[in-house]
Structure 1
């Protein structure tokens, strides 16, 4: 049975987790596998997080929206790479669509309040921050002359010249992009004003062309740094990718603004930290060398 599980886990890792680290024990991974588990740990250790609930029946999500209002986020209880996540949800039509579509990925789902702010992934060990990135939905900046389509082509060419592919993806001109632009009164042929930022999708995921910016760690207050380490040690993890939103930014003390921790990733996708679109690239070779020397219990077991 163990050999069969190992084969299945190996297939899952190759199929869905290529480029993801594997430095945590089976015990840690089991304790942080679902978003519900993360929320419960956040609550237990007084770590700021969004009010939310687990639901199987979409009507429960509807009732949550009636009580708490919008914007909201709906996501599978178990998933990665933002698969199946829908945010920000601003009305009941979007809510019902998300509450039904999310079931494609996992039978149980999470609905929670969504904070409009800056979205970060913090890569941390029990005693230090390894790398901090800010994540943006895909966007182009207007120049008053070129269409959105032309700006996308230029941005994708820049990414190719910078050597960001295949870790970072090109901005798409898919039907989803066209639909998103239409909802905001634009088309691929629209010409944005000089300096106008146009988002082409709502999610920070890499697949539709999300943007990565390296954050200078010297700008992060000690209180925020200590809070991240508190999360790692609460789970007794070797390495986590922590997803968090700050209303005003990670450079400001979390106690002076709204802040919500979203989830933890026991097998974070670390490649994206090495190929930012903005900010200075970091050399993480020494870190990887140290982590690779660790002996991890049951690393090949799901």
Structure 2
């Protein structure tokens, strides 16, 4: 038991800095894999993508033939979008994504993909704590500057805003140039005014993704009820819920396509203090309430 605590402390410090720890071991165990989340969503009647976990890659190919593209490939156990690839639009991309995902974890998930708005909704103690919209790395054209120059301007803005303790600068290396090439761009391309140029597919902080604070009061009552239902479904004190909504979180979920992706029992709350867009919220009241909870086996993985 002592060794487990030492190992868990090392895991928390090395890989989970900035993540909360307000759920019991039982709840955390129930949220570790994508399959567990999908099974719970199905049990609670929560909209989610058709998906499956596989070891044999030919099962994913069979899944693609049945459900078509676009798809998502991701490790069954991971965090911070590590090893995730989307949208996958053909079999060549599928094979490549499976190879890299299995570098993270041998058992892999394939799911249907929905093009829409990507959100992290944190629900705690039966209340909506915070809502963030998440964006892949991008720049906006001004009709005069190259993509490389736009990257420099954006990175300078992030530095002035003090985002780098949490966010990352936009990259100009091989990863970015390769992705731009697939979209018909180079670093010397000059995007039109207000043209949005995506620099990498992954909606994650590491490659330069950012977040925007969404005012909680703008969520329709039906949406708030739905997210609270997910929290109750997992019997958790707090969850970071990842969801894609076709038209946006400010529209009733019953009037659009919605896919719940997964839940995070130790959500990364640090990023809520470093939004690129919108104003960071004062979440101290929520933390005060959470700090008063007695958490069973919080120091065991």
Given that 1:274 and 1:284 are in contact with CA atoms closer than 8 Å, whether structure 2 keeps it comes out as no
1:90-169 matches, within 5 Å, as: 90-169=89-168
SS at match of 2:251: coil
Given that 2:124 and 2:286 are in contact with CA atoms closer than 8 Å, whether structure 1 keeps it comes out as no
Given that 2:125 and 2:290 are in contact with CA atoms closer than 8 Å, whether structure 1 keeps it comes out as no
Q: Which runs of 4+ in 1 moved over 6 A?
A: none
Residue 26 of structure 1: aligned partner: 25
Residue 206 of structure 1: aligned partner: 205
Structure 2 stretches of 5 or more lacking a match? none
Aligned partners of 1:42 and 1:286: how far apart in 2? 29
RMSD: 0.8
Given that 2:179 and 2:199 are in contact with CA atoms closer than 8 Å, whether structure 1 keeps it comes out as yes
Q: 1:47 to 1:126 in 2, by over 3 A?
A: farther
Aligned partners of 1:185 and 1:162: how far apart in 2? 31
1:1-302 matches, within 5 Å, as: 2-302=1-301
Q: CA deviation at 1:162?
A: 0.9
Given that 2:171 and 2:208 are in contact with CA atoms closer than 8 Å, whether structure 1 keeps it comes out as yes
Q: Which deviations, in whole Å up to 9, do the C-alpha atoms of 1:177-198 show, x marking residues without a partner?
A: 1100000000111110111111
Question: TM-score with structure 1 length normalisation?
Answer: 0.98
Q: Which deviations, in whole Å up to 9, do the C-alpha atoms of 1:183-227 show, x marking residues without a partner?
A: 000011111011111110111100000020000112111111101
Q: CA deviation at 1:56?
A: 0.5
Q: CA deviation at 1:40?
A: 0.2
Q: CA deviation at 1:101?
A: 1.3
Count of matched residue positions in the alignment of Structure 1 and Structure 2:
301
SS at match of 1:104: coil
Given that 1:126 and 1:233 are in contact with CA atoms closer than 8 Å, whether structure 2 keeps it comes out as no
SS at match of 1:249: coil
Structure 1 stretches of 5 or more lacking a match? none
